[in-house]
Amino acid sequence: METARISGTDIETSRIGLGTWAIGGWMWGGTDEDAAVRAIRSAVDEGITLVDTAPVYGFGRSEEIVGKALAQGNRRQHTVLATKVGLNWSGDHKRIWREATRARVKQEVDDSLRRLRTDYIDIYQVHWPDPLTPLEETAHALQELLEAGKIRAVGVSNFSPEQMGSMREFGGLHTNQPPYNLFERQIEKDVLPYCARHGIATITYGALCRGMLSGRMHRDRVFEGDDLRNVNPKFRQPRFDQYLAAADALAAYARSNFGKSLPALAVRWLLDQPGHTAALWGARNPEQLAPVHEVAGWSLSDGDLERIEAILQENITDPVGPEFMAPPSRDAA
């Protein structure tokens, strides 16, 4: 497993991390706890040291499952555990809003530590910028946690270069977590270059584009319950067929040129991008992690990258960017 150092810290992480949004069940049609625990333990046992979660993923459920999975077999000591802060929700889970006040940060970190069954968090990330709280207040609260030893690194998620710049004025900033995959590349214009210039590690989410790059997606797929793909334009016609065609062409290229699966190609492409540190691989059961071992030990040539670019342009005539599902601020919640 390839590893990388988080600049400004002594944290070394695997370049593939386990993303656990789907494990929480919310907006993914529910969860199977036993399968999720096995997926987490399998990931760590296979050398994936980075596990990323958040309180809002299932309203504490994902963190609880991660904590349970890592509590056995001394796995926590071999894990770079990342979670988030700055989102609040109503008791009935029908409303979510951004809230990154000092008081909220102090409350959330203790709640997360309890659910995760640990006494420190390796990477603590502001989930979304809170427009009603000065970034200075949020940054100072995180620095207090850093000094107290409750966290080892300060991170953000879904922040623009301007917002990262403001965070850096008031304290250290070690990581940023934006969306990034073969189908969603907006961060190449600004976020990736900014992070590279300032030594900020990029831990990106959505590596397989919500399953579109899994190699298992088909046009007759039905998304159950509150699954967010029901309203995602990439998963609705006519775009759905375009993205599936691109995925099929990429899968054929991966097989014929490297003997690899589509997920392995998608993640290898990410790891070969300049300024990219680690990619999160979402999985709800061990079987979804099976292609992970195919990623290491090879790289894409300039010719491969050009051919991949051509495949995307040949098949996707009506592209759309990432659908952030950004929660509202407190005054609009």
- Catalytically annotated residue among 57, 180, 243, 253: 57
Please confirm, yes or no, whether 180 is among the known catalytic residues: no
The length of the chain in residues reads 333
Confidence (pLDDT) at 312: 94
DSSP structural state of residue 176: E
Residue with tokens 């995959």: 181
Contact 146, 152 (CB under 8 A): yes
Confidence (pLDDT) at 223: 62
Nearest partner of 244 among 206, 216, 284, judged by Cα: 216
Q: What is the dihedral of CA 292, 293, 297, 300, to 10 degrees?
A: -40
Confidence (pLDDT) at 294: 92
The model's pTM is: 0.90
Confidence (pLDDT) at 158: 92
Contact 129, 167 (CB under 8 A): no
Domains of the chain (ranges; CATH) run 3-214+270-291 (3.20.20.100)
In angstroms, rounded to a whole number, what is the distance separating the alpha carbons of residues 146 and 167?
15
Taken in order 159, 165, 166, 171, is the CA torsion positive or negative? positive
Contact 281, 19 (CB under 8 A): yes
Taken in order 278, 35, 29, 25, is the CA torsion positive or negative? negative
Q: How many helices (H) and strands (E) does the chain have?
A: 9, 12
* Both tokens assigned to 269: 């492409």
Q: Is 325 exposed, middle or buried (0-12, 13-18, 19+ CB in 10 A)?
A: exposed
Phi-psi map region of 223: left, alpha, beta (phi>0 left; psi -120 to 50 alpha): beta
Nearest partner of 199 among 4, 16, 48, judged by Cα: 4
Q: What are residue 224's phi and psi, to 5 degrees?
A: -90, 155
In angstroms, rounded to a whole number, what is the distance separating the alpha carbons of residues 317 and 327?
29
CA-based end-to-end distance of the chain: 42
Q: What is the pLDDT along the chain (333 residues), one digit of tens a residue?
A: 899 999 999 999 999 999 988 776 555 555 678 888 988 998 998 899 999 999 988 888 999 999 999 998 888 999 999 999 999 888 887 788 899 999 999 999 999 999 999 999 999 999 999 999 999 999 999 999 999 999 999 999 999 999 999 999 988 899 999 999 999 999 999 999 999 999 999 999 989 988 889 888 777 776 666 666 766 777 778 888 898 999 999 999 999 999 999 999 999 999 999 989 999 988 888 888 888 899 999 999 999 999 999 999 999 887 877 765 677 777 665
